[in-house]
Chains A and B, each alone.
Chain A
């Protein structure tokens, strides 16, 4: 029986955060696919509060919320560290992880809406990207320095899911704002071997999200 199981659903960016962390540390796991339109009793049992994926099961015990899962993975399997060890640097890393979690939903609002709501979401997304460009990256290759760390993983949505949202909606956020540091980071992040080998198929994602956007807007 696998010691580590991951309840998740393609192509959730939160699922991929956990995959990247596990792979970077060389941890084997069993993937249990959830149908979010028909949630399994297992998911409802292991995440009764939010009923969401991903859920990590370690020796049968559930951990929920992707960034909490990542902190847990970091503590149980410290090899190839994903967080700085010095408390102040750790606090700065956690600040940007929280920022990523708090602000990234704006890009999904761009995806899910039209009209006035959509305009506001575009504005919020550009503001977020501007803040990352001006305050978060500095001159480093990655948020983690020479190697990626938990902060890069937290921002992973921007490297791969945002471009798909841009293609589906026709809103070119990254170009519009001209974010050179961020654009370079995106290029470098996607070249990291573990990331490159563990990304959803771009064409399949495009088709999936195109259908979803059509359905979402039709139901409004």
Chain B
């Protein structure tokens, strides 16, 4: 019996992008369904009753929620193609640590940059750059966080690159000026079809952020 996979997603979500990349890396056929987050489908509410959030990966009718958990699940079930997590337990712990770091910091700090102004925004920008620099340190001289190939941390972090233009415009700063190595890494990732097909255009995301700012009355 063929596997049935449905991904409930929302195009600008960096969390959804992680799952798109993982599925594409492994060449896994699936159905993509766009959710309107202002009018969530009955399926979404049924499959993720606790958080009511996307992405939700539905595998043969059974839901898996939370993007880091979904990426690990995909890596475990389709373990023969393009492995994302390292095989060595210590390296896996390191990869999980940095994925957790991205989850704890990048989304919230990025959000601070586009939703606030003045001192709060300046603090957000400063901390955001500090976090990116720590990530640059972890990358070192490797082409990818995963080494020679795209790995777990690459998949977890690169979606935020699609939001960088929005952060830069809203925060009036240049991420590349501060973190050129990280930008070079992101552009290297985008050379891969699994990434380029999964990330929306930066201009499109910026347009979406401007719309959100209007709706929420944020200057």
User: Which residues of chain A have a CB within 8 Å of any CB of chain B?
Assistant: 49, 58, 61, 63-65, 68-69, 71-72, 75-76, 87-88, 90-91, 94-95, 98-99, 131, 135
Contact = CB atoms under 8 A, between A and B. Distances in A.
B97 A87 contact: no
A98 B65 CA distance: 11
Interface in B13-62: 49-50, 59, 62
The interface residues of chain B, by DSSP majority, are classed as: helix
Contacts of A91: 64, 69-70, 72-73
B93 interface: yes
A156 B49 CA distance: 24
B93 A72 contact: yes
The interface residues of chain A, by DSSP majority, are classed as: helix
B64 A71 contact: no
Nearest to B48: A95
Contact of A131 (B50, B62, B65, B97): B50
B203 interface: no
A68 B103 CA distance: 14
Given A68-B100, A135-B50, A98 B90 contact: no
Interface residues of B, number: 23
Contacts of A61: 90
Contact of A88 (B62, B68, B90): B62
6 tightest A-B CB contacts, nearest first: A75-B89, A87-B76, A72-B93, A91-B73, A94-B69, A91-B64
Given A90-B76, A91-B69, A91-B72, A68 B97 contact: yes
Contact of B97 (A64, A90, A94, A99): A64
A95 B69 contact: yes
Given A72-B89, A72-B92, A87-B76, 5 more contacts: A58-B90, A68-B97, A88-B64, A90-B73, A98-B66
